[in-house]
Every structure is written in C-alpha cells, then in structure tokens.
Amino acid sequence: MLAIACPGQGSQTPGFLSPWLELPGVREHLEQLSDRAGTDLVRHGTVSDEETIKDTAVAQPLIVAAGLVTARVLLEGSVLTAATVVAGHSVGELTASAVAGALSEDDAVAFVRVRATAMAAAAASVPTGMSAVLGGDAEEVQGRLAELGLTAANANGGGQVVAAGTLEQLAELAADPPARARVIALKVAGAFHTAHMSPAVTALEALRPSLAPTDPVATLMSNFDGRPVATGEGNLDSLIAQVSRPVRWDLCMESMQAMGVTGMIELSPAGTLTGLAKRGMRGTATLAVKSLEDLDAARSFLEEHSRTTDLDPSLTSEGPQ
C-alpha cells in the first residue's frame, strides 16, 4: 500500500524549485498558483533568499505550491483511490487535501493564503518560535516543557517533539534542556499549533463559506488523531482547528503502519517526513522526491507499492472533537 506524504513549514530551502521549471507546464502551473496566492511563487522558489522564504506569509504558500506542482508531474493526471493514503504535516495537510481530492487546488491555495497571513500576524504580535527536542525520556521532556509553559506543538515520533512558545521560554529550554536531549531552533516565525495562533482560526472560519470541500477520493489522514477523515466538511473542520492545536504526526505514522502501508513517497520540498518515517515506521520503504533525477525512481516506487486494499472503517475520523 502506498502513502504520499506532504511536508510542512521549515522544509524549504533557497532555489529548491529551480530545476522543476525545466519541465513543460511547470512554470505555467506555478504562475497560476501565484495568482491565487497573491505572491510570486516562481521568484520565491528560485531566487528568494533564506530569510525571505522563512517568512510565514511566503513559506506556507510556497510549500503547498511546490507539493501541488510535483504531485502533478509525478502522478501525471492519475486519479487516486482509497487504496492510496495521503498525509500532510502541518501546512502540508492542505497539499494533501488537494492531492486527495478533498479541496480543489484553488481552494487549497486560497486557504493557505489566509492561513499564512493570519498566522504571520499572530506571530508578529508576540515574539514566538519553535524548537525541536531530540531524544531524552518522553516524560522528562513533557515535564520540562510544562515547567516552562511551552506546548508540545508537534509530536513527530522517533523521539522528536517540537516545543513552541515565546522566544524567552525557548531560550530557557535551550540553556537547560532535559537530560540526554538536544534542542534545535527551527526556521519558523512563530509558535504554530498553539493558543498563540487562535486569531488565525477566526480568520479561517470567515473564509469557510467561500470554500467547496468534497469527500476525499484517497484515504486522507488527519493530524488531529492520525485517522482518515471521511468527509470534505470534516476535513475542513480539521484544517481550520489545526492551526491552534498540536500536530500528531506520530499517530499518522502509527495508523499508516496499521493499514499496511509498505512505501511512503514524499513530495517536494522532500526529506523531513521520510527521515521521520525511517525512525517511526521501521521496515517501511521511503523515497524523497527532491529533484528531477528522482522522478524515474519515484514512478517505479509508485507502481511497486500501489495495490487495492480495503480500509478498516474503525480507523475513520469525522474531524475535530
């Protein structure tokens, strides 16, 4: 069984889309997405510097657009079915929603435009950020985060938790980390997936009436509880609530293993989620689509791991609880 993974913010690097523009139709596709996003994604994916693409208002549309572009190239118009699992980490859930057929590309990009600007505004109101905490005893890590008033905003499995909060709180964590744990500051501009982002939920609720969600055709995972969402409306509920609550990628990986996923392929900008899968989904084949040179191997990978299977109804989620 195949899983398609869509990465989130922090996975982008300067110039990562440049090679893709060599392919027919990619520039035109990216320009169309730029129009909908209200920003020049061609420029940001090719020549913008690291500081520019770190900006939340730029990074989120860029990452979603990159996933949509590479998905179109890789899948070549194929229609997915429930036999394929699609999952995205954080803003990658918007990419996943479009790939799985739960949102149109236009709606996914309209959503990320509002999401990105609202989260950037929320982040600007108080200096906040996120840091990866690698290793250490899980209970000790959670206890230290609670002691500092930090939120475990991403549970990524494999001994990795992402802490989010004010820059002062994160500095304290880095200065005195839990035993046997390393703290690495992430290239993001705010404490995403925490109460600091609640204003963005309000902005997205205002956008809801203009969107036309549909039931996913592929098996679409939710970051809320690691279960598939059954309906387009349920997925939209989850996407809106997601900006201010933790991402449970660990549960997504657990569910994918329980479903019998044999291979995970990660769309551009790839590498983060396949890295997590190597630790959290041991025995599952992975492939990161990082460049044009990966396409032939990726297409063979898709064929090898695609097969028909029945989804266990007990795994289905109706959205946020």
Q: Residue ranges of the chain with pLDDT lower than 70?
A: 307-321
The answer to whether 29 is a known catalytic residue is no
**pLDDT for res 321:** 43
Q: Which long-range contacts (CB under 8 A, 24 or more apart) does 20-23 make?
A: 20/45, 20/66, 20/69, 20/70, 20/73, 20/268, 20/292, 21/46, 22/292, 23/73, 23/292
The answer to whether 90 is a known catalytic residue is yes
Catalytic residue (one of 34, 48, 90, 97): 90
Number of DSSP helices (H) and strands (E) in the chain, helices first: 13, 9
**pLDDT for res 109:** 97
**pLDDT for res 319:** 47
Catalytic residue (one of 193, 238, 244, 305): 193
Q: How many CB atoms sit inside 10 A of residue 294's CB?
A: 18
The whole-angstrom separation of Cα 214 and Cα 103 is 6
- For the question of whether the overall pTM of this predicted structure is more than 0.85, the answer is yes
**pLDDT for res 315:** 52
Q: What is the DSSP string of 49-68?
A: -HHHHHSHHHHHHHHHHHHH
**pLDDT for res 160:** 86
The whole-angstrom separation of Cα 167 and Cα 165 is 7
**pLDDT for res 317:** 55
**pLDDT for res 307:** 66
**pLDDT for res 125:** 87
**Domains present along the chain, CATH in parentheses:** 2-124+194-315 (3.40.366.10), 125-185 (3.30.70.250)
Q: Provide the b/e sequence for 134-173 (b: ≥16 CB within 10 Å).
A: bbbeeeebbebbeebebbbbbbbbbbbbbbbbbeebbebb
**pLDDT for res 95:** 98
The whole-angstrom separation of Cα 110 and Cα 240 is 13
